[in-house]
Amino acid sequence: MAEAAAKSANLVEVRTLSKIFTTRASLFGRQRSMTAVGDVTLDIPRGRVTGVVGESGCGKSTLARLVLRLLEATRGQVLFDGVDLASLPGSALRQLRRRMQFVFQDPYSSIDPRYSVSRALLEPMLVQGKTLDAKKSVEHVHRLMAMVGLNPALARSYPHQLSGGQKQRVGIGRALALQPEFLVLDEPTASLDVSIQAQIVALLERLKQDLGLTYLFISHDLGLIRYFCDRIVVMYLGRVVEVLPTANAAPRHPYTRALMDSTFEPDPLRRRVINRLSGEIPDAFNLPSGCAYAPRCPNATERCRSERPAIAFDGGHALACHHPLQ
């Protein structure tokens, strides 16, 4: 198909996206602002899993919300299949939303706790103005439940009767209800037990394969990210510091290295030597003027403290560091 041939390899392109939050001036202090996401440029290739990893406050969840325009960006663009999301009026955005969905860490934070599983799974259709007759509704619900591995007997259950893993399956089922192409998954397994976390990851792998989905996968867990993702975006205090083109690419940013060195291997014969001196994450309202990682970085120089390194792309590898490793 000619149209298909013209399609870019990237389903989503993020261009110099920023989100600045500002506190109001009050009795307790003057107005302050923080850059939750600063100048992020990122390609999300079709049919692949792009992972975003970082510690608390790095802006990964804000980025996830900006990409689906659940939050308005301060600057920059998100192009979904070539269309600038910010340019769309509400109705057109709602049309497009069908093709991109969000999976939350706690799925029932976005679902009415009085909704049964069946109603939660039907709601996306209703929001899109599609009404199904009783028979079609049951079919639709059962099809989604089968896709996410839920026993159809649970259709009439309420969230308090479900385990954490079952609730997340409902969350994923809801996200799939409108047959989207793109899922943004924000720590979908973070509050689950390990054995259940592995079940959900296996489910997401299978769904991606079967439905040809594109994922943006947000997690603080580098082990999980390196297992599941094709490309890895590393964020620190609102900025992308490195993009690894493959899960096994050697890190060149000292922060990525530190993150890897802090992740314990499940093997007592490969214990980590922990550097005791690496300090704390600075206050996001009070960032240093140069590289935000400089105060913790063993390789930092005067230049790092005064001049923020720009991100430079080298093939699929991107890096923002004045003194990269090797």
Partner 1 sequence: MAFLSVREVSVQIGKMELIDRISLDIEKGQILGLVGESGSGKSLTAMAIMGLLPLIGGRISHGSVTLDGTNLMTLPEADFRALRGRRIALITQNPMTSLDPMLQVGAQIDQVARLHLGLGAEAAKTRSIDLLQQLRIPNAALVYLQYPHQMSGGMKQRIVIAMALAGDPDLIIADEPTTALDVTIQAQIIQILVDLVRERGLALLLITHDMGVVAQACDQVVVLYAGRVAESNAVNAIFAQSAHPYTRALIACITRAGQAAGSLTGISGLVPSAASYAAGCRFQPRCTLAQAICSDVAPALQSHGQGRVSCHFPQGAQHG
Residues at the contact surface with partner 1, assessed by CB under 8 A = 55-56, 163, 165, 193-202, 205-206, 209, 220-224, 226-228, 247-248, 258-259, 261-272, 274, 276-281
Output the CA angle 52-56-59, nearest 5 degrees: 55
Specify the residue, 133 or 267, whose C-beta has the smaller distance to partner 1.
267
Nearest distance, CB of residue 57 and partner 1, angstroms = 9
Q: Which residue has the tokens 């490195």?
A: 242
Beta strands in 61-106 (DSSP E): 75-80, 83-84, 100-103
What is the C-alpha to C-alpha distance for residues 183 and 207, in angstroms, rounded to an integer?
11
Nearest distance, CB of residue 276 and partner 1, angstroms = 6
Specify the residue, 3 or 267, whose C-beta has the smaller distance to partner 1.
267
- DSSP-derived letter for residue 249 is P
What is the C-alpha to C-alpha distance for residues 80 and 101, in angstroms, rounded to an integer?
12
Specify the residue, 65 or 169, whose C-beta has the smaller distance to partner 1.
169
Nearest distance, CB of residue 170 and partner 1, angstroms = 15
The residue count for the chain: 326
What is the C-alpha to C-alpha distance for residues 323 and 326, in angstroms, rounded to an integer?
9
Specify the residue, 259 or 304, whose C-beta has the smaller distance to partner 1.
259
Are 199 and 167 contacting, i.e. CB atoms less than 8 angstroms apart?
no
Nearest distance, CB of residue 316 and partner 1, angstroms = 17
Nearest distance, CB of residue 266 and partner 1, angstroms = 5
Specify the residue, 160 or 270, whose C-beta has the smaller distance to partner 1.
270
